[in-house]
A and B are shown apart, each in its own frame.
Chain A
Amino acid sequence: MPNPPHHANTHTRRTVLKSTTVAAASTALLPDAASGAASPAAANPGDVVRVTLSVNGRSRVVDVEPRVTLLDALRERLGLTGTKKGCDRGECGACTVLVDGERIKSCLTLAVMRRGSEITTVEGLADGDRLHPVQAAFIRHDAFQCGGCTSGQIMSAVACVREGHTGSEAEIREWMSGNLCRCACYQNIVAAVADAAREVRR
């Protein structure tokens, strides 16, 4: 399903929050901070920051309060809801994305901290109709049931393969242990990661 058109803009204009503090000091250190004109609904220009994120190879501009997580910016502002929110505290792994090729939990970083980074979400893995080898392996091995953790598992697995942590089943398990699966498809996930690693190496 396509992303909603103009989703980010309508949303941001409606949802600007009033800051409880004076924010004048910050702009000096924020070369691309929002000006009042950039965010017409902002009562205080310091409240909202214009952030350019590079997501899945596309440059995307969002106006966010500083406290907005990368996860919320992706989901609520950019309409990229493939990245999931499961625990808000870095314990489940459902929000795993790649930032400059490294896997991180997007609930534990702010959108404003990721300016200039190259962000890859699950939506950015496939090449058109051609799935990424990890995605294809997850399907082949039935490595999910409800799918609630799957985006995070797949992003983690992409990094795990790239890091070369697929030498043994034990190694895969250690390096995939940051992603919980409540349906407990672990056996199939491990098989999928091993299989994808073989394919990528080929």
Chain B
Amino acid sequence: MSQPVRTPTDLTSAVAGGVGESPQRPDGNLKVRGEFAYSSDLWHEDMIWGATLRSPHPHARITGVDLTEALKVPGVHAVLTHADVPGANACGVEQRDQPVLAVDVVRYQGEPVALVGADHPETARRAMERIVVDYEVLEPVVDAEAAARGECAPLHASGNVVRHVPVRRGDQSATAEVVVTGRYEVGMQDQAFLGPESGLAVPAEDGGVDLYVATQWLHVDQDQVASALGLPLEKVRLALSGVGGAFGGREDLSMQVHACMLALHTRKPVKMVYNREESFYGHVHRHPAVLHYEHGADRDGKLVYVRAKIYLDGGAYASSTAAVVANAATLGIGPYDVDNVTVDCWGVYTNNPPCGAMRGFGAVQAGFAYESQMDRLAGVLGLDPVEVRLRNAVREGSTMPTGQVIDSAAPVAELLELVRDRPLPAATGGELDLRQMPGGVSNTTHGEGVVRGVGYAVGIKNICFSEGHDDYSTARVRLEVVGGEAAALVQTAACEVGQGLVTVVQQIVRTELGVQRVSVLPMDTSIGNAGSSSASRQTYVTGGAVKSACAAVRARVLELYSRQTGTGPAEVGRLGAELRGGKLVSSHDVLADLADVLGGDAVDETAEWRHRPTEPIDPETGQGNAHVQFGFAAHRAVVDVDVELGLVKVVALDCAQDVGRALNPQAVLGQIQGGSAQGLGLAVMEEIRTKDGKVRNPSFTDYLIPTVLDVPPMGVDVLERADPHAPYGLRGVGEPPTISSTPAIVAAIRAATGLPLTRVPVRPEHITGT
């Protein structure tokens, strides 16, 4: 089969801009011209369209499926069910507990039941209407706490608890002078990436398949697809197409296996594109949570103990629930130094929509609860909310509840002070401008009922994969001289999802090899695993791999130089030779032109790079060095609340974050602004609402995400306290701001209203009590 039209191309730029600078994105020109090849843009001669028939019921037994009429629709090439899954009918990013296509039971509304391949999406839609599925509707399990307590009928053979993580530190029966308790809820947030799931599967002559897709992790997809297709890995080749946002929602499979099944069955290229409604059913969401907390402190506000029970609703299938549970548990008390800790976190199966990865990954849910508790404690003690945090903040050398000692910078206090000391925005006043008011141009207030509030929060996030996961990435770097100019090429399987990894990778190569012209090859599975574009880890891990591959290239160049000039390796080493501007230089001299050293040859090295290992946690006590790095961010939110109508305008949302080292300062700011805005969404508007397991708002009309009028300009302080264990000292950036943004905004709304507000998103009803 030939190549599809509009597959990603090499991204080349030949500019200055090494580590620490902010060169232009190499994909920027394509993106502003509308020429960047997104997965939805793929096209192949002779391709057909795939569509997915989904269960309308959250829980039902399938008693019969009749495809007869669907197969009769002209233009239909195939109608497939679970019986047509060639390999294992099981997928899942961590545990393979989800069928590719439902067999005899459906466990959530939207679960895939059958596939249609047809000459047009409309034909496929008509055919799907003619598939008859008989369901015996069953009572849905929708209460996560009841499921955790074993009070519901088991949805899987293993029962309804996906994972329970206890964390025990210190005196389990500690008492304190001051005790605050609270029950908190976090609603189900959606990643709501702008480019819905899509891809193109092209059957290959070797009996395999080439899949072009928007994903966060090519190799974990490849594993699952190959297993479901019953093919060896090498016959399932994945290539990354342009990704229209991810935020965790593309870590699980969506249409990958389905498109490949149809392609192999029909021997035709198959394109699948979800629409927005299907997208809401087609990917996992952020776990909704119920969190019970008790904080004990002395009269000075120093925490004596924290006890928490956290229930995360994983929905119908495991997805990454187990890892989310570990995060919520091990980070469950926040960036605070507490001697006595009792945390239990459960992730459970229900018949609600499946939940898994979303930016912040377990730390978001816990963050809302522990920060709400800190404010409550401050209130009881009559302390300033920042002060109570400062008195308990971890620092380098502090011990986490897991027993892990924080062994690099943890400037939590400083971050809090930075946001606290920023000037406050001016009071809204002067000439009325509706756009500055809660309610905006909808003209709900001209100042009546508007009360300003200020709130603070800080958060902690683990960076990279944890719990002993073999977390590595692979990079290939090639250096040559073309037309007298040194040029490098870099290849990885690390997914560019908008975060700017392709920019950073080029910057690293420029810094390490002293070239300007760097080409980034399209990402695919022809090179080794890069791990996921998640856990704020790609700059760390793939950045580390690229740096390592560059080092190998440099070593090889020095070796060639040594051989050519007869300079002993030791002598070359003493010169401190580096590559700069197409030359090999010592601190004083130009030693050689790269062109002379390489001749017409290229140096081509591939490196696999791991961060230092982490450990599993003890299943009874939660103790262990589970995390490789921690990221911290603090926010100060200023809100204007119309206390009569319950409408909120976030006036300011300033952030301070330690990024270790900003490899690309502009991209760092973009991540902080983006993460904060998603936290804002969770604070005041974003929630997938369900009733009896059914989604009530699968559209952008009723699942609201922040507009440009909802997100204020942000002041950001970036600290760079290098982590000696990480490449360039960097610290993962993408997730920490999502964690502290939500509780800071809710704290500000509490300050304005005096209400306890224990649930996010805060709705007008919560503020008005109606």
A–B in direct contact per CB < 8 Å: yes
User: Measuring CB to CB, which residues of chain A are less than 8 angstroms from any residue of chain B?
Assistant: 1, 4, 7, 10, 14-15, 17-18, 75, 79-89, 91-92, 94, 121-123, 125-126, 131, 135-136, 138-139, 142, 144-151, 154, 169-171, 173-174, 176-177, 179-190
Closest partner residue, chain B, to A137 (CB atom):
B32
Nearest Cβ in chain A — how far from B636, in angstroms?
17
- Interchain residue pairs with CB less than 8 A apart (10): A10-B45, A82-B33, A84-B195, A121-B34, A144-B28, A145-B500, A146-B194, A146-B243, A180-B705, A188-B670
Contact A182 B34 (CB under 8 A): no
10 shortest interchain CB distances as A-B pairs: A82-B34, A146-B498, A148-B244, A184-B677, A122-B34, A148-B194, A145-B498, A147-B31, A91-B700, A81-B41
Known: A7-B43, A84-B244, A183-B245. A170 touches B435 (CB 8 A): yes
Q: How far is A69 from B192 in the complex, measured between Cα atoms in Å?
A: 23
Contact B32 A180 (CB under 8 A): no
Q: Which residues of A contact B36 (CB under 8 A)?
A: 147
Write out, one digit per residue, whether chain B residues 701-721 have a CB within 8 A of any chain A CB (1) or not (0): 100011111010110000000
Q: How far is A142 from B25 in the complex, measured between Cα atoms in Å?
A: 8
Nearest Cβ in chain A — how far from B629, in angstroms?
23
Contact A179 B701 (CB under 8 A): no
Contact A88 B38 (CB under 8 A): no
Contact B243 A1 (CB under 8 A): no
Known: A144-B31, A170-B436. A79 touches B673 (CB 8 A): no
Contact A185 B674 (CB under 8 A): yes
Contact B5 A4 (CB under 8 A): yes
Q: Which residues of B contact A84 (CB under 8 A)?
A: 38, 40, 194-195, 244
In the complex, B234 has a CB within 8 A of chain A: no
In the complex, B433 has a CB within 8 A of chain A: yes
Closest partner residue, chain B, to A146 (CB atom):
B498
Q: Which residues of A contact B499 (CB under 8 A)?
A: 145
User: Measuring CB to CB, which residues of chain B are less than 8 angstroms from any residue of chain A?
Assistant: 5-6, 9, 22, 24-25, 27-29, 31-38, 40-41, 43, 45, 74-75, 119-120, 122-123, 191-196, 242-247, 273, 275-277, 433, 435-436, 441, 497-500, 666-667, 670, 673-674, 676-678, 699-701, 705-709, 711, 713-714
Q: Which residues of B contact A92 (CB under 8 A)?
A: 194, 276, 700
Q: How far is A86 from B733 in the complex, measured between Cα atoms in Å?
A: 27
Contact A147 B244 (CB under 8 A): yes
Q: How far is A115 from B41 in the complex, measured between Cα atoms in Å?
A: 24
Partner of B673, one of A15, A87, A185: A185
Closest partner residue, chain A, to B8 (CB atom):
A1
Q: How far is A170 from B435 in the complex, measured between Cα atoms in Å?
A: 7
Q: Which residues of B contact A10 (CB under 8 A)?
A: 45
Nearest Cβ in chain B — how far from A193, in angstroms?
10
Residue from A89, A138, A171 with most neighbouring chain B CB atoms (10 Å): A89
Q: How far is A41 from B40 in the complex, measured between Cα atoms in Å?
A: 27
Partner of A1, one of B37, B192, B277, B714: B37
Contact B708 A170 (CB under 8 A): no
Known: A10-B45, A187-B673. A150 touches B31 (CB 8 A): yes
Q: How far is A146 from B216 in the complex, measured between Cα atoms in Å?
A: 12
Q: Which residues of B contact A139 (CB under 8 A)?
A: 24-25, 28-29, 32
Contact A174 B674 (CB under 8 A): no
Contact A184 B674 (CB under 8 A): yes
Q: Which residues of A contact B38 (CB under 8 A)?
A: 81, 84, 147-148
Q: How far is A183 from B671 in the complex, measured between Cα atoms in Å?
A: 8
Contact B194 A94 (CB under 8 A): yes
Q: Which residues of B contact A123 (CB under 8 A)?
A: 33-35
Q: Which residues of B contact A75 (CB under 8 A)?
A: 41
Contact A142 B667 (CB under 8 A): yes
Q: Which residues of B contact A86 (CB under 8 A)?
A: 194-196, 244, 276, 700
Q: How far is A79 from B277 in the complex, measured between Cα atoms in Å?
A: 24
Contact B32 A135 (CB under 8 A): yes
Q: How far is A144 from B27 in the complex, measured between Cα atoms in Å?
A: 11
Residue from A144, A176, A184 with most neighbouring chain B CB atoms (10 Å): A184
Nearest Cβ in chain A — how far from B679, in angstroms?
10
What's the A-B contact tally at a CB cutoff of 8 Å? 191
Q: Which residues of A contact B24 (CB under 8 A)?
A: 139
Contact B708 A177 (CB under 8 A): yes
Contact B194 A149 (CB under 8 A): yes
Q: Which residues of B contact A176 (CB under 8 A)?
A: 708
Contact B713 A187 (CB under 8 A): yes
- Given A1-B37, A92-B700, 5 more pairs with CB closer than 8 A: A4-B43, A4-B45, A17-B122, A150-B32, A182-B193
Closest partner residue, chain A, to B34 (CB atom):
A82
Q: How far is A123 from B33 in the complex, measured between Cα atoms in Å?
A: 6
Q: How far is A188 from B671 in the complex, measured between Cα atoms in Å?
A: 12
Q: Which residues of A contact B247 (CB under 8 A)?
A: 182
Closest partner residue, chain A, to B702 (CB atom):
A91
Nearest Cβ in chain B — how far from A49, in angstroms?
15
Nearest Cβ in chain A — how far from B237, in angstroms?
21
Contact A148 B708 (CB under 8 A): no
Q: How far is A19 from B28 in the complex, measured between Cα atoms in Å?
A: 43
Residue from A84, A174, A182 with most neighbouring chain B CB atoms (10 Å): A182
Q: Which residues of B contact A15 (CB under 8 A)?
A: 119-120, 122-123
Q: How far is A151 from B32 in the complex, measured between Cα atoms in Å?
A: 6
Q: How far is A67 from B195 in the complex, measured between Cα atoms in Å?
A: 23
Q: Which residues of B contact A18 (CB under 8 A)?
A: 74
Closest partner residue, chain B, to A184 (CB atom):
B677
Q: How far is A169 from B712 in the complex, measured between Cα atoms in Å?
A: 11
Closest partner residue, chain B, to A121 (CB atom):
B34
Partner of A179, one of B40, B244, B670, B708: B708
Contact B245 A148 (CB under 8 A): yes
Contact B34 A151 (CB under 8 A): yes
Q: How far is A171 from B700 in the complex, measured between Cα atoms in Å?
A: 24
Q: How far is A184 from B713 in the complex, measured between Cα atoms in Å?
A: 11
Contact A174 B6 (CB under 8 A): no
Contact A131 B32 (CB under 8 A): yes
Contact B9 A148 (CB under 8 A): no
Q: Which residues of B contact A184 (CB under 8 A)?
A: 673-674, 676-678, 706, 711
Q: Which residues of A contact B43 (CB under 8 A)?
A: 4, 7, 79, 81
Q: Which residues of A contact B194 (CB under 8 A)?
A: 84, 86, 92, 94, 146, 148-149, 180-182
Partner of B714, one of A80, A151, A179, A187: A187
Closest partner residue, chain B, to A14 (CB atom):
B119
Nearest Cβ in chain A — how far from B154, in angstroms?
37
Closest partner residue, chain A, to B24 (CB atom):
A139
Contact A135 B276 (CB under 8 A): no
Closest partner residue, chain B, to A155 (CB atom):
B34
Closest partner residue, chain A, to B503 (CB atom):
A142
Q: Which residues of B contact A187 (CB under 8 A)?
A: 673, 711, 713-714
Q: How far is A4 from B6 in the complex, measured between Cα atoms in Å?
A: 9
Q: Which residues of A contact B699 (CB under 8 A)?
A: 87, 89, 91
Nearest Cβ in chain B — how far from A47, in angstroms?
12
Closest partner residue, chain A, to B497 (CB atom):
A146
Contact A177 B707 (CB under 8 A): yes
Q: How far is A4 from B247 in the complex, measured between Cα atoms in Å?
A: 32
Partner of A148, one of B193, B700, B705, B714: B193
Known: A142-B667, A182-B194, A189-B708. A147 touches B242 (CB 8 A): yes
Partner of A145, one of B75, B670, B678, B706: B670
Q: Which residues of B contact A94 (CB under 8 A)?
A: 194
Contact B123 A17 (CB under 8 A): yes
Q: How far is A138 from B120 in the complex, measured between Cα atoms in Å?
A: 36
Contact B33 A135 (CB under 8 A): yes
Known: A94-B194, A146-B194. A1 touches B9 (CB 8 A): yes
Closest partner residue, chain A, to B7 (CB atom):
A1
Contact A170 B433 (CB under 8 A): yes
Q: Which residues of A contact B35 (CB under 8 A)?
A: 1, 82, 123
Q: How far is A16 from B474 in the complex, measured between Cα atoms in Å?
A: 46
Nearest Cβ in chain A — how far from B33, in angstroms?
6
Nearest Cβ in chain B — how far from A166, in angstroms?
13
Q: How far is A7 from B499 in the complex, measured between Cα atoms in Å?
A: 33
Residue from B38, B191, B195 with most neighbouring chain A CB atoms (10 Å): B195
Partner of B6, one of A81, A91, A122, A190: A81
